[in-house]
Structure 1
Amino acid sequence: MAWVSFDGGSTIGHQGSESGIILLDEEHSDGARVTLERCDRVPFAITCGLYGNMAHTVFIGSEREALDTFHAIKTNLEALIAIWPENNAPADQTSRFYDAISDFVERF
């Protein structure tokens, strides 16, 4: 499972989706992204998603917690990628995937 800097790191230092300055921005080769911003209205925002399935934002008060949460989100996104159903997957497999997304959103 490969995480790399999104767009070769070109987004670092630019404005992110939460109007903050992007500090970290990584993309997983199997279709996920996580971005950490330092913001004005809240200290930190982490935006993450699974392409075509989920987008979620978490607001955090301290830099240490933001960094820890950024890495925890990456690990949890990898777990979601591992159970990502193929097209025309059985209903129970698809349901398990969306239940896991709901759990992810509740956790973060």
Structure 2
Amino acid sequence: MAGTEWAPMDGGWTIGTAGSEGGIILRDDEHPLGSRITLERGGSTAPFAVTCGIYGSMFHTAFAGTEAEASAKYDAMRNRLSELLALPDDNREAYYAALDCFVNDF
């Protein structure tokens, strides 16, 4: 199942601290293949923000107006990140096309 390898960032110590969007971190997970996703509340741009990245490839932020919307985005984005990380390394063109779709979808 996609997403099963994610674990709390720094063992969960980041929960309740300030996030990159200026809010308070509610959820923060890292994937061992090199990705992180964070949900924060009360940032400077929107009520909720989901920031994510694949180390060395991409950084993206999506915004939400409610916690339910933000949580749904977080889960969907995390699953899609798992799919991106599972793509074979030998086809970089397909990888970057999938990254483009991810950013457009979120």
TM-score (normalised: structure 1): 0.90
CA displacement, residues 15-62 of structure 1 (integer Å, 9 cap, x when unaligned): 000000000000011111100000244110000011110000001111
Superposed counterparts of 1:39-58, under 5 Å: 39-41=42-44, 42-58=46-62
Cα offset, 1:77, TM superposition:
0.2
Where does the alignment leave 5 or more consecutive residues of structure 2 unmatched? none
Partner residue of 1:66 out of 66, 70, 82: 70
Find the structure with the greater CA-based Rg: 1
RMSD: 1.1
8 Å CA contact 2:24, 2:43 repeated in 1: no
Matched, 1:34 2:32: no
Superposed counterparts of 1:1-108, under 5 Å: 1-41=4-44, 42-85=46-89, 89=90, 93-108=91-106
- Aligned counterparts of 1:51 and 1:2: Cα–Cα separation in 2: 16
TM-score (normalised: structure 2): 0.92
Identity between Structure 1 and Structure 2 (%): 47
- Aligned counterparts of 2:68 and 2:16: Cα–Cα separation in 1: 19
- Size of the alignment, in residue pairs? 102
